[in-house]
């Protein structure tokens, strides 16, 4: 038998790297890592698997236990999948601005979902992290995945995503760009790549409304504007983001990233989630900074199917004064 796998879990990782040739990438050779190939449809399956495996090893998660997490959706989907295969209850706290598609997917997988307000900050009792922490204290036999602080999240990318990028490019990589939600991807990948070659430039691509761009550029947590992207950007520096080895940052407006998403559909047949547009916009900007012919790698975290109700909703986009696909 060939190409046969013992379970869905062994399909996590080893995602393809694809060259983008049919959109204007400026001066760089642009390669993208197709994380939608993971079974839960996003990069966060890697994090979910590493966090659960580590919790089992350390004894923090016991057979039949409850996994609790604060999530924008994708980590929740990963945890729900791993939870099914390993027999855990999964309880997730999600801010109410996240797309209906991700929530429907989670419920279909049998995860329990608690919605909370998106418009409250980290000191408010209804902030999604604070609710998750409270549930963890209240529910016996529960485990808090805590992807923003849990080092297993970083390890997932230091041991899998980073080495895959290095091998797939034969070490011929000049720059790596990606956005940060928990900081797991940029933390783990930057540590691995800088260890291999300290000259590789690592840049953060940050959506408007996030404070991380100003933090990297000026050392000050300050934000302006907003974004319809999900799962990226932050108003604070979490433990995992703090580990990232970052050379610089770009602030990306939805008006810059959305046309890239629409061009990728029309010219490459790639229909991607909102954070992928921010990542590609940042990669193109880094290509311009580094000069002609440099090889830049970025991450395509998930696909547009998780955001159809926003990305292909002309009324929603028009109301926000954002570009929409001209074929809608």
**The token pair that represents 8 in the structure block:** 């869905």
Site for ligand PMP contains 304 (CB under 6 A)? no
Kindly state the smallest distance separating residue 101's Cβ from ligand PMP, in Å.
Answer: 12
Q: Is 44 in the site for ligand PMP (CB under 6 A)?
A: yes
Rounded to 5 degrees, what are φ and ψ at 257? -85, -35
- Positions marked active-site: 44
Nearest residue (CB) to ligand PMP, 66 versus 71: 71
Minimal distance, residue 227 CB to ligand PMP, in Å? 12
Pairing of strands 201-207, 112-116: unpaired
72 binds ligand PMP (CB under 6 A): yes
Q: How far apart, in whole angstroms, are the C-alpha atoms of residue 93 and residue 75?
A: 11
Measured from the CB of residue 241, what is the shortest distance to ligand PMP in angstroms? 7
Q: Can residue 185 be called a binding residue for ligand PMP (CB under 6 A)?
A: yes
Q: Is 38 in the site for ligand PMP (CB under 6 A)?
A: no
Calpha distance 312→324 (Å, rounded) = 7
- In the complex, minimum distance from the CB of residue 318 to ligand PMP, in angstroms, rounded to a whole number: 23
Which residues touch 140 (CB under 8 Å, ≥6 apart)? none
Q: Which of residues 212-271 bind ligand PMP (CB under 6 A)?
A: 231-232
Among 180, 210, 223, 227, binds ligand PMP (CB under 6 A): 180
Cα(103)–Cα(72) distance, rounded to whole angstroms?
9
**b/e string for 276-301 if b means 16 or more Cβ within 10 A?**
bbbbbbbbbbbbebbeeebbbbbbbb
142, 135 contact by CB (below 8 A): yes
The answer to the question of residue 275 lying near ligand PMP (CB under 6 A) is yes
- Of residues 83 and 181, the one with the C-beta less far from ligand PMP: 181
Minimum CB distance to ligand PMP, residue 186 (Å) = 6
Residue 302 interacts with ligand PMP (CB under 6 A)? Answer: yes
State yes or no: residue 99 binds ligand PMP (CB under 6 A). Answer: no
Tokens 């770009």, residue located: 250
273 lies in the binding site for ligand PMP (CB under 6 A)? yes
* Residue 74 contacts ligand PMP per CB under 6 A: yes
225: left (phi over 0), alpha (psi -120 to 50) or beta: left
Say which DSSP state 173 is in: -
Using CB under 6 A, list all residues that contact ligand PMP: 42, 44, 72, 74, 179-185, 231-232, 273, 275, 301-302
């Amino acid at each position: 038998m060939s190409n046969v796998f013992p379970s869905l879990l062994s399909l996590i990782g080893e995602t393809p790297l694809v060259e983008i040739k049919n959109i204007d990438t400026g001066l760089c050779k642009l390669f993208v890592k197709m994380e939608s190939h993971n079974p839960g449809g996003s990069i966060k399956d890697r994090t979910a698997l590493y966090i659960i495996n580590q919790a089992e090893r350390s004894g923090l998660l016991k057979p039949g236990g409850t996994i609790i997490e604060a999530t924008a959706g994708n980590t929740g989907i990963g945890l729900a999948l791993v939870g099914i295969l390993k027999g855990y209850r999964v309880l997730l706290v999600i801010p109410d601005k996240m797309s209906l598609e991700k929530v429907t997917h989670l419920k279909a997988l049998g995860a329990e979902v608690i919605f909370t307000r998106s418009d409250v900050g980290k000191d408010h009792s209804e902030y999604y992290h604070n609710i998750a922490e409270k549930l963890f204290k209240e529910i016996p036999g529960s485990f808090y995945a805590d992807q923003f602080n849990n080092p297993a999240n970083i390890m997932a990318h230091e041991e899998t995503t980073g080495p895959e990028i290095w091998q797939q490019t034969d070490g011929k990589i000049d720059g790596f760009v990606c956005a940060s939600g928990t900081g797991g991807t940029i933390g783990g990948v930057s540590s691995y790549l800088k260890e291999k070659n300290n000259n590789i430039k690592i840049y953060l691509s940050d959506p408007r409304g996030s404070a991380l761009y100003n933090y990297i550029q000026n050392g000050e947590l300050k934000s302006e504007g907003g974004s319809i992207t999900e799962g990226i950007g932050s108003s604070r520096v979490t433990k995992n983001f703090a580990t990232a080895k970052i050379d610089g940052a770009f602030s990306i407006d939805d008006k810059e990233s959305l046309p890239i998403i629409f061009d990728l559909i029309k010219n490459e047949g790639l229909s991607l989630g909102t954070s992928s547009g921010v990542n590609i916009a940042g990669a193109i900007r880094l290509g311009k900074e580094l000069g002609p012919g440099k090889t830049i790698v970025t991450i395509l975290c998930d696909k547009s199917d998780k955001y159809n109700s926003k990305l292909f909703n002309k009324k929603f986009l028009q109301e926000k004064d954002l570009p929409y696909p001209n074929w809608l």
